[in-house]
Amino acid sequence: MVVCKKPDQGIYATGHQSFLQVPGTDEWYIVYHRFKFPDGITMGREAGYHREVCMDRVVFNEDGTIKQVIPSL
């Protein structure tokens, strides 16, 4: 899995990813959405639908595989 949820920080549903390369470079980013529960609200309708669009840098291992992306805050 490239990018995972972080329940300890209230970050869930890190899905629907796309990858972008900065033109002319070896710099890559992953763009994805996630669901973050507002502070103090755990589940249910009161939590709302707080989808967020995120972008984080992608780093590769020496064998060309992608290192796991830690969702940014």
Query: Looking at the domain assignment, is residue 59 inside a domain?
Result: yes
What's the domain range around 63?
A: 1-9+21-73
Q: What is the mean pLDDT of residues 45-68?
A: 85
pLDDT value at position 34?
83
Query: Looking at the domain assignment, is residue 14 inside a domain?
Result: no
Asked if the model's pLDDT at residue 66 lies above 90, the reply is: yes
Alpha-carbon distances, residue 39 vs 16, 35, 51 (angstroms): 24, 12, 14
Query: Looking at the domain assignment, is residue 4 inside a domain?
Result: yes
Residue 5 near residue 13 (C-beta atoms within 8 A): yes
Q: What is the pLDDT of residues 3-54, one digit of tens each?
A: 877 778 777 777 788 999 999 999 999 998 887 766 666 666 666 567 788 8
More confident position, 70 or 47: 70
Query: Looking at the domain assignment, is residue 31 inside a domain?
Result: yes
Query: Looking at the domain assignment, is residue 41 inside a domain?
Result: yes
Provide the whole-model pTM: 0.73
Query: Looking at the domain assignment, is residue 16 inside a domain?
Result: no
